[in-house]
């Protein structure tokens, strides 16, 4: 029989997850700790989660802490998830931003919690089919995630039958994937359009450069309000004033940050708002 998780052990694990990845774990999510960390506890012969917490309190356990964080991530993703944001990207965002940028300027698109790559590759497939709108314009797609195993999967571009049956239109499966034993490999032409990098949304984002379009979907739901605000404000700092942010169906900027505003009649699409100090001169100028 395993010993119940002590309050101290729970505190150690919950604090580690919050500070390292933003993930908030309440007592009601104890089962998640048990199911997702069970293999790690077994491999390290720690007995139970109390043993794991006790080990993590010792110095020199950074690699183990990383594994704990990664094991606790939820990596669920699928192609063209929720459809609408991708429709907006295809029918509105690309044309609008191409028109707004000087010829020859590349558009930069960020899949900010890219998991196993379906979001970034959905965008890449749309870009591949938007040659008329783009008229030679380059589009750089960057996927980032905290989970190394997911980044490896994304770079590989190999998906199971189940994964390609979720959201991917059959014509796109035929056009952009090749059967490889029981799996499907994404075409090199699409794979080469996206690059994947390890990056924690809680760390300094500036090294990633500027982005015209950001998909930050189904990751903020795991954070508390303060962390959501911090991440959203940092993302806004990477975007031009006409940039577009796409959030997941259960996510919003409302009541969290004033750096983004909803786009009329487009659920989940947000425009950038200049920081208060930067808007003041405009208001003064307009009033003169
Ligand atoms: C549910 S998936 C969402 C994937 C995709 N955006 C979608 O909507 O289908 C959430 C991803 O966020 C990643 N993640 C969680 N915390 C993170 C953090 N602090 N920094 C970067 N990625 C993080 C997880 O590893 C996971 O792959």
Percent of the chain with pLDDT over 90: 93
pLDDT at 223 over 70: yes
Provide the token pair at 277: 């100090």
φ, ψ at 247 (rounded to 5°): -110, 170
d(CA 149, CA 55): 23
pLDDT at site 275: 87
Mutate which of 66, 112, 163, 219 for ligand 1 pocket (most atoms within 8 A of beta carbon): 219
How confident is residue 112, by pLDDT bands cut at 50, 70 and 90? very high
d(CA 80, CA 120): 10
Instruction: Answer whether 74 contacts ligand 1 (Cβ < 6 A).
Output: yes
Read off the pLDDT of each residue in 235-243 and give the average, rounded to a whole number.
98
- Return mean pLDDT, the chain: 95
Terminal C-alpha separation, the chain: 76
Which of 19, 16, 20, 45 lies closest to 33 in space, CA to CA? Answer: 16
Provide the token pair at 92: 């509105």
pLDDT in tens, 132-153: 999 999 999 999 999 999 999 9
Distance in Å, CA 201 to ligand 1 centroid: 9
Read off the pLDDT of each residue in 213-234 and give the average, rounded to a whole number.
98
Provide the token pair at 252: 């919003």
Distance in Å, CA 181 to ligand 1 centroid: 28
Instruction: Answer whether 119 contacts ligand 1 (Cβ < 6 A).
Output: yes
Mutate which of 145, 154, 194, 222 for ligand 1 pocket (most atoms within 8 A of beta carbon): 145
d(CA 105, CA 210): 12
Helix (H, G, I), strand (E, B) or coil at 270: strand
Helix (H, G, I), strand (E, B) or coil at 119: helix
d(CA 258, CA 104): 32
Provide the token pair at 121: 């590759």
Mutate which of 80, 85, 115 for ligand 1 pocket (most atoms within 8 A of beta carbon): 115
């Amino acid at each position: 029989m395993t010993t119940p998780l002590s309050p101290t052990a729970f505190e150690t694990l919950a604090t580690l997850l919050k500070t390292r990845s933003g993930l908030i774990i309440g007592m009601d999510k104890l089962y998640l700790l048990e199911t997702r960390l069970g293999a790690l506890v077994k491999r390290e012969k720690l007995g139970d989660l109390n043993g794991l917490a006790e080990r993590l309190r010792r110095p020199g356990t950074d690699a183990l802490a990383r594994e704990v964080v990664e094991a606790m991530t939820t990596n669920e993703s699928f192609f063209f998830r929720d459809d609408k944001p991708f429709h907006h990207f295809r029918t509105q965002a690309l044309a609008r931003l191409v028109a707004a940028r000087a010829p020859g300027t590349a558009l930069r698109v960020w899949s900010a919690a890219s998991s196993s790559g379906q979001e970034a590759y959905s965008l890449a497939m749309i870009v591949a089919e938007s040659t008329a709108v783009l008229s030679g314009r380059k589009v750089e797609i960057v996927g980032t995630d905290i989970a190394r195993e997911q980044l490896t999967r994304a770079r590989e571009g190999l998906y199971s039958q189940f994964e390609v049956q979720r959201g991917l239109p059959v014509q796109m499966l035929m056009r952009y994937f090749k059967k490889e034993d029981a799996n499907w490999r994404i075409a090199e032409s699409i794979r080469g359009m996206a690059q994947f990098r390890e990056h924690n949304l809680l760390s300094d984002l500036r090294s990633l450069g500027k982005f015209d379009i950001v998909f930050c979907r189904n990751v903020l739901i795991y954070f508390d309000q303060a962390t959501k605000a911090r991440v959203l404000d940092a993302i806004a700092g990477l975007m031009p004033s006409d940039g577009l942010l796409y959030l997941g169906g259960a996510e919003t900027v409302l009541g969290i940050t004033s750096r983004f505003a909803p786009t009329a009649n487009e659920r989940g699409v947000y425009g950038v708002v200049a920081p208060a100090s930067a808007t003041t001169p405009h208001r003064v100028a307009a009033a003169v």
